[in-house]
Amino acid sequence: MREKINEIIESDEGIAMAFEVLLSISRDKVERKRLEDEYHENQLYLRSKMAHAKCQGEQERTQYVLDLIAQGLSAEEIRLRLEMDISGN
């Protein structure tokens, strides 16, 4: 009889350990999914900011060229000015 009780206790302990392992795996999957979602959100945010910065830069560049035209510079003078700006001079 005692042997049967020990078998049941060992079986229950095994089931409890298996249950804990399964819970741990489930928590790991949930955490992995959360981290993946966070990564994708950050990527979208970064892409949005980069697109906005590019658009802003293009608008500023266009305004700069329009200002140069308003100052009466020729197309060649504007081209040279833009080349100097790009090279950092």
The two structure tokens encoding residue 33: 């999914």
- Closest alpha carbon to 75 in 65, 87, 84: 65
The whole-model pTM stands at 0.56
Look-up: residue for tokens 């993946």? 36
Q: Which domain holds residue 77?
A: 2-87
Split into its structural domains, the chain has a count of 1
Look-up: residue for tokens 């950050």? 42
CB atoms within 10 A of CB 73: 15
Per-residue pLDDT tens over the stretch 26-79: 889 999 999 999 999 999 999 999 999 999 999 999 999 999 999 999 999 999
